[in-house]
Structure 1
Amino acid sequence: MKKAIFISILCIKSIMSFGQSTTFYSKYVELYKGKRAVISKEYEDYYSNSSIKLKLISEIIKPLKLKKNMDTLLRINALDLKGDTLIFDDAQPIQTVNEYTKQSNYKLLLKSLKSGKRYILDYDPEISFYFPFTIIDKLSIPNGYFCNEISQRKDKFTGKIITETPTGEKIAFVKMSDSGEISYYLRLLSYSSSLSSYLKTGVIVLLQDGSKVEFKDCNIEILEKSHSGIYTYLAMQKLDQETLKKLSKGKIEAYRMFVDDSTINDFEAVKAISLLNCLTN
């Protein structure tokens, strides 16, 4: 319980502190391969003033001659690599599975382009605020890369066919087919530590090109309250063809649900567009 509360609090701080400069590809660890990285300014600003001193990186120390033929590892703080540029190895990441939670973690190999030193990063695909890097190379995602994450089900009461992108993410899209008639919906999640005492309406979606999409009458529902006191809000809006086309081409930068703002990093934006195109094609 204490761990869950601690993580939830840090997640809120990370939303405020990290912004778009920290790159995090979640479980898609293969996207880091061959990419250059530097210490994120947001990570530096947050952990430089924090009592939390994470040592999730190990420097690989080559053994001295006549010693045992095995590398030794020296734990370091990621901030020790400030000012350096590193590159992720092209090798397949080393996967480890927690025997109790069954969650997969990874060990990612990196190399300093300045000194040639090698490092291992302990990588948790579920916790973005532990990740210290900004990826400085452009993200390239193959066509259809996320399409296998789309699910489909049939409503046994109405007969509607519901096809949707992962619903646990901040941005999701839903396709409903009813007797040959197809409708598309945008689904947004937002998190807040406060609970409004009155009904919330109104959603504004801001795209990276500066344009906006506004849904003034969109209702915002309260889904649940976590153990740490964080409320989850849901907005779901039917999309016309013009808006659907706009969202399939323009990357979302942020959205506002009533007065609560949510920022989307570039990877989340790219993934949302990719999933929408999977859904509509």
Structure 2
Amino acid sequence: MTNRVKKPDWLKVSLASTGNFAEVKKIVQQHHLHTICTSGKCPNICDCWARGTATFMILGEICTRSCKFCNTLTGKPLPVDPNEPANVAESIRLMKLKHAVITSVDRDDLDDLGASHWAATITEIKKVNPGTTLETLIPDFQGKDELIDLVINARPEIISHNIETVKRLTPLVRSAARYDVSLHVLARIAQSGITAKSGLMVGLGETEAEVLETMDDLLKAGCTVLTIGQYLQPSRKNIPVTEYVIPEQFARYKTIGLEKGFRQVESAPLVRSSYHAENHL
């Protein structure tokens, strides 16, 4: 039996709901929307929903991949909902969001891996909410340029794709994604002139040298915004935490990242890729 690392007191968060939490929850439920906030058991859900922000997850809630860090359901997905672009766009309008974040499960079962649905959703959001800026947190689309370009051509303000972990740990943590493919996706985004952003988890057994190497690889690909957060095991079926990285080390990563050339670095234990995303424009 694996010895579990005890979560430190400074990492525990309050789950008290305040402000707009109930209203956001109501809108999400009424429009049958999926959010990574709930499926991913995000520790910031109360904070973000109270501020009237949420990260919408399109293309259903069942992923075709089974990454060991992720709590999203895996299996055979349901057919794509043709009404989803309109529902998401209307929900953003009702929430009066100035900035919205969209992500999705992986849909390796679809001929275009879901790229055309992504483009349709972005287009509809921009049509209904012309004053809302948009960040899209996309899958790797198996590194296929023509599919990545469908999202690029819809012109969201930021396109994010998470590297998730260091090169050595990628085969252990991610079920199908490859480190080099993720770097290619980010390079394709950067070459288009759209802001390229990525996210990295720590506490999985990586070394500081490996984190710094990953920073260098991301910068070479053209990534300019980076988030670094503590991996938290969402359920017992997921890979266990190896280490709880102390806040001082997160601060060090932020300082080094900015010195290396990132335009923005969010680095703290509870940082997630879409946390306070409105600040990354």
TM-score normalised over the length of structure 1: 0.24
| Larger helix fraction of residues | 2
| Larger strand fraction of residues | 1
TM-score normalised over the length of structure 2: 0.24
Query: Which of structures 1 and 2 has the bigger CA Rg?
Result: 1
